[in-house]
Amino acid sequence: MKSFWAAGRSLRPRRIEIAMSLAGALIAATVLIAGCGRDGQPEEQAPGAAAAEETTATPVPVAVAMRTNIDQTLEVTGTAEANDEVDVVAEASGKISRVYADVGDYVRRGATLVRVDTQVAAAQRDQAAASVQSARAAFKQAQEALRLTRDTTESSVRQAEVGVAAAKERLNQAQASARLIEAQVNSAIDQAQTGVQSAETRLEEVRAGARQQERRQAEAQVAQARASAQLAEQTYNRHRRLYEGGVIAEQQLDQVRTEYELAQQRLEQAQEQLSLVEEGARSEQVRLAELNVEQARKQLNQAEANSIQIEVAQQEVAAAREAVRQAQEQLNSAIAGRGQVNVQERQVASARAGIDQAQAGERVASVQLGKHAVSSPIAGLVAARMVDAGEGAMPGTPVMRIVDIDPIRIDAVVNQLDIERVGKGDPAVVRFDGLSGRDFRGTVADIVPQAIPDSRNYVVRINVPNPDGAVKPGMFARVSILLGSREDVVVIKRDALLERDHVREVYVVVDGAVEIREVEVGVISGNLVEIIDGVREGETVIVSGQDTVAEGEKVEPVSATMPEDDA
């Protein structure tokens, strides 16, 4: 489909009308020539016949039906409006220090129009920045305090755990030592009691004299004393190693050493007793036996006196158990100190929030400072300036009006019967009464879905490029919207079409007489009408004065006067 403004087009509506009129003029000339003789002079006719022709032939303007292409357009009117219009207002309070644009100036989007004094706002921004630095310092200090508290707490916990473990180990050692001392003391008492009984028995035997069974008994005592001495020696060696390892106290080693020495003495006494038995009882032997009894009783008293070591060992166990309790309390206290870590962590979080709050305040101050430079939200022309340098401004005070007129918007009014034929993107040609001789090309950008109040018309918005700003808001516009195109169709001038009682008719000149035909019409574009049925290409149609002639009446075709081009 060819655009109705396409370059290189062969026949435009105005040219088609001219061609049709020229064709009508040619037909009229042919009719006139037909009335002349071969030498160009009118043929001689009977006076009555000539008079009859003059009275029956009516001159009528005609045009010829032609086959060509025709654009289907919709002719509407409208008004030029700014594509965008903004009243720029101040957003900060203060004295206007500078104005950067004036009426008629072109400004880009974001260009500064007016600047309001920034001294107070800049100071507030600097104060907010200082608050951010202070908040960061407080945050760093809180982090350092948290680190120190965490390190100290964990070190205390580790030390307390080591203390608990050491106290428990000392308790275990004290309990083991107490059990060993109790066993040793009881064993010494038992041995001392046995020694007393043995010495007393020996004394009675010595006084009674030696017998064969006494000999055997003396030998058995020697054997027993030797075994006890060996056991005492082993016990002494074992305790000496424990003492050297720091497991037992020197007092315990001394006690074992004493028992070892006593065991050696008992072995020597048993051996001497055996020797006396073999030699026979003497006074010395009796005295010796008595001494042995005394010695055995002393050893028993000493062994019984050593039982106090059991109480001392038990006291040491109790002390070790108390040390474990205290160490556990210290551990619990150290663990409880972790609560301070939680407090410090909350303080760090609060300090971090303080940074966020201070930064937000800095952003607000920066935004407020930025509001002192009033900028244009759109690109366009300054239509009005409401302030001067030195005047005071408040938030909401209008400073300038900016209008965007490239592209400029045409608000055209379309009847409800035609609105369905218009679509977004349809091309249009726009003419302005104030800019005669210039055609502007645009495009349908939007169709307002709601009708104009108190009417059945709709607003169609057409964007028209306006790079030089020639079109001003408020100009009256005549718009031709291209709805479609028909190619190679028969067209006649619109003036040739009549409509009576909803019937469309065309007056056709056939053999010099009028023939009224009912026609079927297609596209109507400007002063051209597509004929689908009723008129053929090349036929002559009357374009004016149809009401002065009737069906079958003789007419004389004449050239039609060319109307003004309104296509």
Which CATH number is associated with domain 85-117+372-404? 2.40.50.100
- Quote the pLDDT of residue 42: 45
Query: Backbone phi, then psi, for 84, in 5-degree steps?
Result: -155, 145
Instruction: Give the C-alpha separation, 89 to 54, whole Å.
Output: 81
Instruction: Give the C-alpha separation, 458 to 438, whole Å.
Output: 26
Instruction: Give the N- to C-terminal CA distance of the chain in Å, as an integer.
Output: 19
- Quote the pLDDT of residue 476: 94
Is the model's pTM score more than 0.85?
no
- Quote the pLDDT of residue 368: 82
Q: Tell me the per-residue pLDDT of 504-548, one tens digit each, with 9 for 90 and over.
A: 999 999 999 999 999 999 888 778 899 999 999 999 999 999 999
- Quote the pLDDT of residue 464: 95
- Quote the pLDDT of residue 40: 44
Instruction: Give the C-alpha separation, 162 to 170, whole Å.
Output: 12
- Where do runs of H (alpha helix) occur along 35-118? 47-56
Strand pairing partners for 397? none
Residues of the chain with pLDDT > 90: what percent? 33
Least confident of 16-25, 38-47, 421-430: 38-47
For residue 528 the two structure tokens come to: 């051209």
| CA nearest to 181, candidates 319, 361, 309 | 309
Task: Answer whether the bond into residue 407 is a cis peptide, omega within 30°.
Answer: yes
Fold of 13-78+405-418+484-559: 2.40.420
| CA nearest to 534, candidates 492, 487, 486 | 492
DSSP 564: P
Q: Tell me the per-residue pLDDT of 68-110, one tens digit each, with 9 for 90 and over.
A: 988 888 889 999 999 888 999 988 888 888 999 998 888 999 9
CA 106 to chain centre: 37
- Quote the pLDDT of residue 309: 85
- Quote the pLDDT of residue 34: 47
306 versus 9: the higher-pLDDT residue is: 306
Using alpha carbons only, what angle is made at residue 519 by residues 515 and 522, rounded to the nearest 5 degrees? 145
- Residue 327, Cβ neighbours under 10 Å: how many? 21
Mean pLDDT value of segment 186-195: 88
- Quote the pLDDT of residue 44: 46
- Residue 186, Cβ neighbours under 10 Å: how many? 14
Least confident of 111-115, 218-222, 279-283: 279-283
* CB of 372 closer than 8 Å to CB of 117: yes
Instruction: Give the C-alpha separation, 372 to 375, whole Å.
Output: 9
- Quote the pLDDT of residue 563: 39
Least confident of 28-32, 74-78, 177-181, 288-292: 28-32
Instruction: Give the C-alpha separation, 499 to 504, whole Å.
Output: 4
Q: How many helices (H) and strands (E) does the chain have?
A: 8, 22
Instruction: Give the C-alpha separation, 360 to 464, whole Å.
Output: 46
Average pLDDT score, the chain:
83
Q: Tell me the per-residue pLDDT of 255-301, one tens digit each, with 9 for 90 and over.
A: 888 988 998 998 898 888 888 776 655 577 678 878 888 888 888 88
- Quote the pLDDT of residue 55: 52
- Quote the pLDDT of residue 565: 41
Q: Is the confidence at residue 43, as pLDDT, over 70?
A: no
- Quote the pLDDT of residue 13: 52
Q: Is the confidence at residue 52, as pLDDT, over 50?
A: no
Using alpha carbons only, what angle is made at residue 422 by residues 469 and 525, rounded to the nearest 5 degrees? 85
For residue 497 the two structure tokens come to: 């079409």
